[in-house]
Chains A and B, each alone.
Chain A
Amino acid sequence: DMKVTQMPRYLIKRMGENVLLECGQDMSHETMYWYRQDPGLGLQLIYISYDVDSNSEGDIPKGYRVSRKKREHFSLILDSAKTNQTSVYFCASSSTGGITEVFFGKGTRLTVV
């Protein structure tokens, strides 16, 4: 069963708190991603991970960091969350970059108040 699982699905945090979003995949994919989705902006790439401890910044990495210690897990960390980080965050994975099918999780809706 090919799946990308995100936890939690919904999260409310206060400004300044730390946030941990977790993602797992069961397809042994090398490449994993974090995107955020905002109305009218589509999906914007935050970070891409090519494998364990091989992470690169995407288009909007400021205010975020990631951790990938196992191939099947990829975490997104917000240190001291800001209100403008309120968004829906999607984790995704693929076998080889963006040229094969990219599988997305169901998303985490984060609200920072």
Chain B
Amino acid sequence: GQQVQQSPASLVLQEGENAELQCNFSSTATQLQWFYQSPGGSLVSLLSNPSGTKHTGRLTSTTVTKERRSSLHISSSQTTDSGTYLCAISTNTGKLTFGDGTVLTVKP
């Protein structure tokens, strides 16, 4: 079945530093979404980016479909960015398969 690998598993930054999160997947993805989950909180969709580069605020996602990888860049990290970032893909089925996530901690 589809597999989604995220790296690093955890990341600790000082406020103001940039973060780079990686997502690799085993099947061709027709849909790719990045989600954010605060500790004990719900999943919030950040970006939908099956191919190319997309920006929203301090977030930039770049997906190279034929290489089966996507990245999420967070610029000028803030303490409120702390939480888990999840990558999820679907392959023409509609349902998303999730990676295990990257736990980001931003220290003041």
Question: Bound pair: A and B?
Answer: no
Chain B interfacial positions (CB closer than 8 Å to A): none
Chain A interfacial positions (CB closer than 8 Å to B): none
